[in-house]
Amino acid sequence: MAFSLPEEFFDRTSTQLLAAPVPQFLYAQMFLSAMGLSLSVGSLASPGRAPITGVGADYRDFNQDKLNLASALPGEILAVKADFNAAPGATLRINRPKYESTTYTAAARTIALGASISTTPIQIGETQNNITLYRFGGPYDQANSRVAPFPIEAFTANLGVHKVAQMVGNQLSYDFHKFIDAVHVLLLDQAAVTVYPDTMTADNDATVAGMYPFTYEQLNRAEQLADQANLPTFSDGYRCFVGTTLQLKQLKDDRQYQRASEFHKEYSILFPSYVGSVGKTHIFKSTTLTITNNGSSVPIHYGHYIAPGTLMGAMGRPPSVRTSTNDNFGETLYAIWIADLAFKMANNSFVLSVRSSA
């Protein structure tokens, strides 16, 4: 006897959520921690209206999906952590001493008996850097090249499997952290000095994969260049190297590194991403660094050798989630994040771009 299923039977969507891989956003954590900032989403509502809460199961926060490689890097990376109450476009200027190099021979500095010492003064040199506030926002509409909101429909919110407002809040928080991290990665890529593996002099030198892996000698040379440039160290006397996962895998395979590296358990408690120390360098791992193909389609990995005082940061109004008053009589809510922030390199000679090939 033949039978058929009635039309009332349909697929169901589970309230359970699967994990999605999310980076740690190492530089975003460093900046936000040093500046004392966070993005609080809270309840989403248009001004003067009740929030659209809706129904459905709770939605997981993107922090639960993060690959927990690291706590925040030392805030000493920021030379300036300014909080000034100003509108976007305002500029804060910071002076820097300028030390002149003259003649330092005994013959040149000898003052003969009876000689008249000049009273014509020498001017003390000084340089100046500045940082300007801008208004930033997100998310970003890739198709139309503009900042645009996420919508929350009151009707849809009452039919959802998960709470739509929480979904939007989660996406806003993810977008904010990824933006902060990406800005700092690109800033640090602008280092004044690039350190390549031995015999490599440019990105395009790598014509096949495996030609120029990251090496202990290269890391050691970065430390030597930093010492030679008189770059400062963090409070523990070390500097930091942040590398890609492949760079650190290649480094661990280097026998010179295996013999020379040390592991300090007390340090790894503070910095879970801590891999080891070599010379006067603490080594960290990040999954959001620049990896770009060169002219031969060989991926080039960009690591950062960082001294304190490399970057500057400033804040006007703190980050916040905003909603539009154009909400179709409370039926459709539009939400974005906005922040008045400033990011800049304090001195691009305080970071070295450490590059290698896949």
Domain membership flag for residue 15: no
Range of the domain at 254: 197-310+348-357
Question: Among the listed ranges 1-10, 233-242, 293-302, 307-316, which one has the minimum average pLDDT value?
Answer: 1-10
Of 217 and 329, which is predicted with more confidence? 217
Domain membership flag for residue 106: no
Based on the fold, state whether residues 206 and 181 are members of the same structural domain: no
Domain membership flag for residue 320: yes
Q: According to the model, what pLDDT value does residue 267 have?
A: 45
Burial of residue 308 (CB within 10 Å: 0-12, 13-18, 19+) is: buried
Domain membership flag for residue 294: yes
Q: According to the model, what pLDDT value does residue 243 have?
A: 96
Question: What is the domain count for the chain?
Answer: 2
Based on the fold, state whether residues 220 and 341 are members of the same structural domain: no
Based on the fold, state whether residues 295 and 165 are members of the same structural domain: no
Based on the fold, state whether residues 172 and 206 are members of the same structural domain: no
Residue 101, helix vs strand vs coil: coil
Based on the fold, state whether residues 305 and 318 are members of the same structural domain: no
pLDDT over 80 at 19, yes or no: no
Domain membership flag for residue 115: no
Query: What pLDDT band is residue 261 in, cutting at 50, 70 and 90?
Result: low
Q: According to the model, what pLDDT value does residue 352 have?
A: 98
Based on the fold, state whether residues 317 and 177 are members of the same structural domain: yes
pLDDT (tens digit per residue) in 305-321: 999 999 999 999 899 99
Nearest residue to 301 (alpha-carbon basis) of 239, 248, 224: 248
- Whole-number Å distance between alpha carbons of 105 and 108: 5
Domain membership flag for residue 322: yes
Are the C-beta atoms of 272 and 282 separated by less than 8 Å? no
Are the C-beta atoms of 133 and 139 separated by less than 8 Å? no
pLDDT (tens digit per residue) in 175-224: 999 999 999 999 999 999 999 999 999 999 999 999 999 999 999 999 99
Contact partners, residue 338, CB within 8 Å, separation at least 6: 135, 136, 137, 317, 319, 320, 322
Query: What pLDDT band is residue 41 in, cutting at 50, 70 and 90?
Result: confident
Q: According to the model, what pLDDT value does residue 56 have?
A: 59
Based on the fold, state whether residues 238 and 297 are members of the same structural domain: yes
H or E stretch including 92? strand 91-97
Based on the fold, state whether residues 75 and 202 are members of the same structural domain: no
Query: What pLDDT band is residue 168 in, cutting at 50, 70 and 90?
Result: confident
Q: According to the model, what pLDDT value does residue 11 have?
A: 52
Are the C-beta atoms of 353 and 193 separated by less than 8 Å? yes
Domain membership flag for residue 231: yes
Based on the fold, state whether residues 180 and 293 are members of the same structural domain: no
The CATH number of the domain where 240 resides is what?
3.30.1930
Q: What is the mean pLDDT of residues 164-171?
A: 82
Domain membership flag for residue 134: yes
Nearest residue to 311 (alpha-carbon basis) of 36, 80, 82: 80
Q: What is the mean pLDDT of residues 83-104?
A: 86
Question: Among the listed ranges 104-113, 159-168, 244-253, which one has the minimum average pLDDT value?
Answer: 159-168
Contact partners, residue 268, CB within 8 Å, separation at least 6: 274
Based on the fold, state whether residues 210 and 284 are members of the same structural domain: yes
Are the C-beta atoms of 282 and 241 separated by less than 8 Å? yes
pLDDT over 80 at 6, yes or no: no
H or E stretch including 168? helix 164-188
Four-CA torsion 66, 69, 74, 77, nearest 10 degrees: -80
Based on the fold, state whether residues 176 and 275 are members of the same structural domain: no
Tell me how far apart the terminal alpha carbons of the chain are, to the nearest angstrom.
64
Based on the fold, state whether residues 137 and 205 are members of the same structural domain: no
Dig out the tokens for 266 from the structure.
Answer: 């007390």
pLDDT (tens digit per residue) in 273-288: 456 677 889 888 999 9
Are the C-beta atoms of 222 and 193 separated by less than 8 Å? no
pLDDT over 60 at 16, yes or no: no
Q: According to the model, what pLDDT value does residue 139 have?
A: 96
Highest mean pLDDT among 83-92, 103-112, 291-300: 291-300
pLDDT over 60 at 9, yes or no: no
